[in-house]
Chains A and B, each alone.
Chain A
């Protein structure tokens, strides 16, 4: 039986294994993903993003609890940074959620960024597909939380929750990180600290400023104390509102199309570059060209133009053979 078939029957170890293969870039994983893809498109995907230490993992733990109490099954994808120096990582998001490790209705998977920028790992979308095909009702995705350029979550998740904390300087931070544009729902977590009300009000003002006039969803701002489960019910209610809004406005369809377009473009880019690059280095033209550019005998723009045609044909020939 293929890994994909075992996964469709709900086998945890098979899913865990395929996730590993995807993460490690093992070629056979693509075959399994192809088999799984028709079974995807059912899960509700919720992104949890925001600066490091804001309480994303703690909040995710409480979201797991809430959705479980509603009888839903919950999968979690938790991304932490990979060290650029060693290539290793300490994936520690589970510290806040591991009480759910023995609940059969919960499956948590930790991922390192492995050099990928954008808040997720290169493998995250495929891993979400695996969970989706397996039939998990809700998929929670905790991003790295470096605060900058965490834009990928917007196209992956149906609802993106941005977790902020009270305090001065947030306004500038938020605008810099473009974080205002990525949230469908905001929470000012650590609301047990001073200034939570003010931060919430400031956020509301800033959201009003960046909202596009044609938009008919105003991202709500709630306050939470994740450790004490305060405000979590409110947060979940706002996530539900957003879900309903997507369905009723037809935006759910739009989201799927947007996501598919992006995903297709990403795969195409990745594959095309890999194939072309491989061909060029195999036939020696890569080093030839680079040398010529370095000697200023050839400019890089002309080099790309002239090489493209040749390289594409080479990639096509190769694919027909394999």
Chain B
């Protein structure tokens, strides 16, 4: 009972209308024993960051298909920093060209999963890198 359970926000920023990938990740996280806060489609970075803070999550997982990853990821990270939550890991996936990955990591994204990654890969990474915030 008195045990930290991992809480992860699965968010879908941007204007595209598909959340299949995000839902698959959410279900895989649930089955791995994580508590997933799922916000649905078309979330703004401001909504995502406020949600992360109100829900006291341990990490933010973003799923981006719209091609706007180079603006959306850094924006979320910047807002987290402004709210004093820079320690919160941010990772994500979607259709992201390999060439963009170094820049995103530079901007503070902890990990990027390209469409080839399995949910097992993602869960293994989370278990290794995300810890309940003390």
Contacts and interface: CB of A to CB of B under 8 A. Distances in A.
Interface string A88-115: 1111101110110110000111101010
Nearest to B3: A24
A128 to B, nearest CB: 15
A88 B38 contact: no
Contacts of B39: 94-95, 98, 101
A88 B2 contact: no
Given A98-B40, A98-B43, A91 B35 contact: yes
A244 interface: no
Nearest to A114: B5
Contacts of B102: none
The interface size bin for chain A is 20 to 34
Nearest to B19: A95
Interface stretch (B50-58, B66-74, B91-99, B109-117): B50-58
A94 B38 contact: yes
B118 interface: no
A16 B55 contact: yes
A135 to B, nearest CB: 16
Contacts of A83: 30-31
B15 interface: no
A321 B84 CA distance: 40
A19 B56 contact: yes
Interface string A250-281: 00000000000000000000000000000000
Contacts of B51: 94, 98, 101, 108
Nearest to B84: A13
A241 to B, nearest CB: 31
Contact of B54 (A87, A107, A112): A107
A86 B33 contact: yes
A90 B43 CA distance: 17
B30 A17 contact: no
Contacts of B81: none
Contacts of A108: 51, 54
Given A89-B30, A90-B36, A91-B35, A109 B1 contact: no
B29 to A, nearest CB: 6
A88 B54 contact: no
A12 interface: yes
A278 B123 CA distance: 35
Given A13-B84, A24-B2, A89 B35 contact: yes
A87 B5 contact: yes
Interface string B26-66: 11011111111111100110110011011110000000000
Nearest to B8: A88
B4 interface: yes
Interface of A: 12-13, 16-17, 19-20, 23-27, 82-83, 85-92, 94-96, 98-99, 101-102, 107-110, 112, 114
8 contacts: A16-B53, A16-B55, A16-B56, A25-B3, A90-B30, A92-B38, A94-B51, A98-B39
Given A86-B32, A95-B40, 7 more contacts: A16-B55, A19-B56, A27-B2, A82-B35, A87-B5, A101-B51, A108-B51
Interface of B: 1-5, 7, 26-27, 29-40, 43-44, 46-47, 50-51, 53-56, 83-85, 132
